[in-house]
Amino acid sequence: MSTSLIILAAGQGTRMKSDLPKVLHEVAGAPLLVHAMKSGAALEPEKTVIVAGVGADLVAAAAQAFDETAEVVLQDEQLGTGHAVLCARDALADQDGDVIVLYGDTPFIRPETLADMAAARTRHDVVVLGFEAADPGRYGRLVMSGDTLERIVEHADASDEERAITLCNSGVIAASTKTLFDLLDDVSNDNASGEYYLTDIIAIARDRDLSATAVTCDEAETMGVNSRAQLAQAEASFQARARAEALENGITLPAPETVHFAHDTVIGRDALIEQNVVFGPGVTIESGARIRAFSHLEGCHVSRGAIVGPYARLRPGAELSENVHVGNFVEIKNATLAEGAKANHLTYIGDASVGEATNIGAGTITCNYDGVMKHHTSIGARAFVGSNTMLVAPVTVGDDAMTATGTIVNKNVPDGAMAIGRAEQVNKPGLAVKLFEMLKVKKAKRDKEAG
C-alpha cells in the first residue's frame, strides 16, 4: 500500500529568537526540515506535503531543494496540530493509501521506526509513535491496554495514576488518509487554548470502535528542537551518533570527539580522519584515504590513497584522484587533480584540471576570476609548476612542461616547454644603505614632531 507524508513546519519558534523559521535552523549542515524529510523518504512516499506558515517561501525553497516533488501548503492561522494536518487535505485528495504525520522540528526519527509504524498499520487503524521517557515531565501519556492504545492524556488533564505512566507521546501518527481526515473532522477546539489537537483523534477512533496502537522508539529519536540550546543538543546528539557509526564501520578516528560530520558524509573503511577535521555537506572519502588535522572539506570527492592536509580546504567541485597529495594551507575549488598529482603547500587551485603525477609548487595561484566571470586553467600530466607561479586563466600548461619560479603565465605553454615570465633582476650597489639612512632620518623627524 502506498504511503504519503505530512510534515508540519508552520511554526516560527519564538524561543529560537530568530527571523528564520524554526525548521530551517541547521543540524549537521542541513535544515531540521530536511532531516525529517530524509527519514520519511526511506518509505518512498507517494507524495510529501509540507505544511508551512511563517516564512513559507523559505520553507518551500528548502523543501524543494531536497525533493522537487514536495508540495507545500499554507497554514494561515496557527490553530493547533489538528488544524495544520487538515491544511494538507486537498493536496492528498487523490491519495487512497496511508499517511504518516511528522514534524519539521523533530529531526532524528529513524527510517526503521517509520517502517515499524507502517507495518503496524496493517493490523491497526491508527498507529502512534511513543517512547519511554526518563523524565516524563509534561509529555502526554499513552494509556495502553495490552497492545491497544486507549487514549492519549495530556499532562495537565492526567490523574496521579496516569502521570505515573512513562510511555509518552511523540506526536507522530500513521493512519489511512481517509481515516485520518474523517477523524479530524470531529476534533473540537473546546479547550483552554482554543486549538485543534491531532492527539484527540485517538479517543474519537476508540469511540468509533477503530483500533489504535503504539509503536515505541528510543527517546533520543523524538528530540524536538525549540530553542538554541536544544539546537546545540541536537547537533551534539547527531555528532555522537555519526562518530560511533564511523568507528563501527571501520574508519579510524584518533580523536573522534573533535571530528564534525555533515548529514550526508560518506567515508569508506580504513580511511583515517585525524583530529579537528570538519566535513561540510556533500563529501565522499574513499577507503584508505587520509584526512589530516584541521582540514575543512565540503562538496568534494577524495579517492583511495589520497592525503589531504593538515590545514587544507577542499571546496565544492574538488575532485581528488587516487594517491593525490594536498598539503598544508592549500585550497582546491571546482578542480580535478589526476592520479598522483601533488600540491603540498600554500597554493590555490580553482576552476582547473591538473594531470597525473604533476607537481604544483608552493605559492602557486590559478588566477581564475576577472571580476565578472570564472576561467579555466588546464595543467597537463607530469608537469612541474614552480613556486610562486601565477597562472592567468584561461591558460594551458602542456604535458611534461615546466614553469620557472616566480613566473606569471598568461600564454599557453606547449608540451615539454619551460615558461619563464618574470622581470629581470637588477642590483643597485650601495642603494640599500642610502635608502635605510633616508628612512631613519624621516622617522626621527616624524617622531620629534609627534612628541
DSSP conformational letter for 182: H
Identify whether 424 is part of a domain: no
For residues 234 and 373, membership in a common domain is answered with yes
Helix (H) or strand (E) holding 436: helix 431-450
Identify whether 233 is part of a domain: yes
In this predicted structure, what is the pLDDT of residue 409? Answer: 97
For residues 239 and 99, membership in a common domain is answered with no
In this predicted structure, what is the pLDDT of residue 78? Answer: 86
Q: With beta carbons less than 8 A apart as the criterion, state whether 355 and 372 touch.
A: no
In this predicted structure, what is the pLDDT of residue 154? Answer: 84
For residues 66 and 209, membership in a common domain is answered with yes
* Each residue's pLDDT tens digit, 67-80: 999 999 999 988 99
- Specify the number of domains making up the chain: 2
Q: With beta carbons less than 8 A apart as the criterion, state whether 168 and 149 touch.
A: no
Please indicate whether residue 301 is annotated as part of the active site: no
Identify whether 430 is part of a domain: no
Q: With beta carbons less than 8 A apart as the criterion, state whether 108 and 41 touch.
A: no
CA 181 to CA 327: how far, in whole Å? Answer: 59
For residues 276 and 216, membership in a common domain is answered with no
* Each residue's pLDDT tens digit, 218-242: 999 999 999 999 999 999 999 999 9
CA 103 to CA 93: how far, in whole Å? Answer: 21
- Beta 402-403 vs 384-385: how paired, if at all? parallel
Computed from CA positions of residues 109, 111, 116, 121, in that sequence, does the dihedral angle turn out positive or negative? positive
Cell representation of residue 188? 473540537
Cell representation of residue 6? 505530512
Tell me what percent of the residues of the chain surpass a pLDDT of 70: 100
Neighbouring CB atoms inside 10 A of 253's CB total: 19
Q: Which domain holds residue 59?
A: 3-222
Cα 364 → chain centroid: 32
CA 450 to CA 406: how far, in whole Å? Answer: 41
CA 365 to CA 369: how far, in whole Å? Answer: 11
Q: Which of 207, 103, 200 is nearest to 152 (CA)?
A: 200
- Range 369-381 average pLDDT: 96
DSSP conformational letter for 371: S
Identify whether 214 is part of a domain: yes
**pLDDT, the chain, mean:** 95
- Range 324-339 average pLDDT: 98
For residues 291 and 406, membership in a common domain is answered with yes
Identify whether 132 is part of a domain: yes
DSSP conformational letter for 338: -
Cα 67 → chain centroid: 15
For residues 314 and 340, membership in a common domain is answered with yes
**Which residue in 83, 260, 301, 345 is the catalytic one?**
345
Indicate the pLDDT class of residue 194, thresholds 50, 70 and 90. Answer: confident
Helix (H) or strand (E) holding 352: strand 342-354
Identify whether 397 is part of a domain: yes
For residues 35 and 153, membership in a common domain is answered with yes
CATH of the domain at 86: 3.90.550.10
Identify whether 122 is part of a domain: yes
Q: With beta carbons less than 8 A apart as the criterion, state whether 85 and 198 touch.
A: yes
For residues 184 and 259, membership in a common domain is answered with no
Residue 12 in this model has a pLDDT that exceeds 80? no
In this predicted structure, what is the pLDDT of residue 249? Answer: 97
In this predicted structure, what is the pLDDT of residue 138? Answer: 85
Lowest-pLDDT choice from 199-203, 360-364, 408-412:
199-203
Question: H-type helices in 67-175, by residue range?
Answer: 81-86, 111-120, 160-163
Indicate the pLDDT class of residue 351, thresholds 50, 70 and 90. Answer: very high
